[in-house]
Amino acid sequence: MAFEFIDAQLAQRQQDGYYRQRTCIDYERDGVIAINGQHYLNFGSNDYLGLRHNQGVLQAWVEGLAQFGGGSGASPLVTGYSAAHRELEQVLAEALNRDAVLLFSSGFAANQALCQALFAEQGDIIADKYMHASFIEGATASAARLRRFAHNDYTHLSALLSKTTSSHRLIASEGVFSMDGDSPDVAKLVASAEASDSWLMLDDAHAFGVTGEYGLGSIDAYQLSQQQCPVVMGTFGKAVGTAGAFIAGSHALIDYLVNYARHYIYSTAFPPAQAVATLHALSLVTQGAEREQLHANIAHFRARANQEGLTLMASQSAIQPVVVGSPTRAVALSAELANRGLWVPAMRHPTVPKGTDRLRITLSASHATRDIDALIDGLLLAQDSILANADHSEHDADDHGTD
């Protein structure tokens, strides 16, 4: 029978406790989301600065729509590249001290495009083990030999570098890691790249809009020159609150991508109105009021969690994971929190390494201090209630975990 594996694979996921389902958000207002008629405080969004609902950003979308229409109408090399796209590229390039910038419909597409264009024939990619799936997928699909170094382990990175044979080496890491919320030692990455004549690439999806004096991510935070970090990828769907992504680098790199990156060439450009809105959101990012609020919220969360004896990871970012260790327990905790009006997604294998299933709390500038206090109280109560249940049914739950 054709594709009979589909049912079997789904049943396997169910049995292992890793089966996934989508949750439909009916509406959202002031950081509260409505799902199936219930309301929850949202601790599961990457909208770190609360810009998705910012009045100025919404107004910019509307003005962009009036000027350019709903969509771009074509791929960028045909007639889809507008003055709005060009302005966003130019503003970003100048802010990041790069020659040029290229816009993509998503970070996923940008990572794929980069790997496939740079490694159409051969080369070596040496990537942090915790790099995002979009990069790993792109690297795997490219002609490069992909090696992965243990998370933030620069000795291992050096060891892997010494095994490379081509003269085209790309070292890849993230500004802020999406599941752990921690950051690499960027100086060590730069030194490794210099010592091995490799290029350093940073995926700044969770750093762009958040870190650095102007909120422009790793380049801003560590003052990285184009030579030190020849490729940076950032996204607009997280802290910036719109959608899309960019790659910044030299004139030659961007020109090469325009000519060879199939994800760019054969895909409709994102709506110009999105570029107008993104440009406005960027001006708010650099002004910094929302970033200041976010960082105050992160500090408050960590201080209160420490006070209450909750175990946190070494993250100073908006991503604050609470590792639970088993997929069933992570899902049970998330459900218990939902009962208390708190929406905190569980992240399970294969999104995170086996045995590190967790709650992934994301904080935002739109949270009030009392929201964060409610989260801490909820975590403590949910933990107690799960532990009490676990005494009776832990064995069962681990053997027959379902959603």
Ligand X SMILES: *Cc1c(COP(=O)(O)O)cnc(C)c1O
Binding residues (CB under 6 A) for ligand X: these are 106-108, 111, 132, 134, 174, 178, 203, 205-206, 235, 237, 245
Q: Which is nearer to ligand X, 178 or 274 (CB)?
A: 178
Clarify whether 174 is annotated catalytic. Answer: yes
Q: Which of 47, 89, 182, 203 is catalytic?
A: 203
* Residues whose CB falls within 8 Å of the CB of residue 106, separated by 6 or more in sequence, listed in order: 235, 237, 243, 244, 245
Q: How far is the CB of 201 from ligand X (least distance, A)?
A: 11
What are the helix and strand counts (H, E) for the chain?
A: 14, 14
Distance CA 63, CA 254 (A): 29
Q: Which is nearer to ligand X, 148 or 206 (CB)?
A: 206
Q: How far is the CB of 53 from ligand X (least distance, A)?
A: 19
Q: Which of 174, 180, 204, 371 is catalytic?
A: 174
CA atoms within 13 A on the CB side of 13: 14
Report yes or no: 312 and 302 within 8 Å, Cβ to Cβ.
Answer: yes
Clarify whether 132 is annotated catalytic. Answer: yes
Q: How far is the CB of 203 from ligand X (least distance, A)?
A: 5
Q: Which of 82, 105, 220, 238 is catalytic?
A: 238
Q: Which of 106, 134, 178, 192 is catalytic?
A: 178
Q: How far is the CB of 132 from ligand X (least distance, A)?
A: 3
Q: How far is the CB of 173 from ligand X (least distance, A)?
A: 10
Q: Which is nearer to ligand X, 247 or 382 (CB)?
A: 247
Q: How far is the CB of 5 from ligand X (least distance, A)?
A: 27
Helical H segments across 96-212, by residue range: 107-118, 133-141, 154-161, 186-196
Q: Which of 42, 72, 105, 132 is catalytic?
A: 132
Strand-pair category, 245-249 with 231-235:
antiparallel
Cα dihedral 306, 312, 317, 320 in deg (nearest 10): -110
Judged on CB neighbours under 10 Å (0-12, 13-18, 19+), 9 is: exposed
Nearest residue to ligand X by CB is: 107
Judged on CB neighbours under 10 Å (0-12, 13-18, 19+), 2 is: exposed
Q: Which is nearer to ligand X, 132 or 169 (CB)?
A: 132
Clarify whether 203 is annotated catalytic. Answer: yes
Structure tokens at 318: 């908006």
Q: Which of 206, 263, 280, 295 is catalytic?
A: 206
Structure-token match 């970090």, residue found: 229
Clarify whether 255 is annotated catalytic. Answer: no
Q: How far is the CB of 235 from ligand X (least distance, A)?
A: 4
* Residues whose CB falls within 8 Å of the CB of residue 264, separated by 6 or more in sequence, listed in order: 76, 102, 104, 109, 113, 257, 258
Q: Which of 42, 46, 192, 317 is catalytic?
A: 46
Distance CA 327, CA 397 (A): 10
CA distances from 221 to 101, 213, 224, 297, 388 (A): 19, 6, 8, 20, 44
Distance CA 344, CA 117 (A): 38
Q: Which is nearer to ligand X, 315 or 328 (CB)?
A: 315
Clarify whether 238 is annotated catalytic. Answer: yes
Q: Which is nearer to ligand X, 128 or 290 (CB)?
A: 128
Q: Which is nearer to ligand X, 185 or 308 (CB)?
A: 185
Enumerate the active-site residues: 46, 132, 174, 178, 203, 206, 238
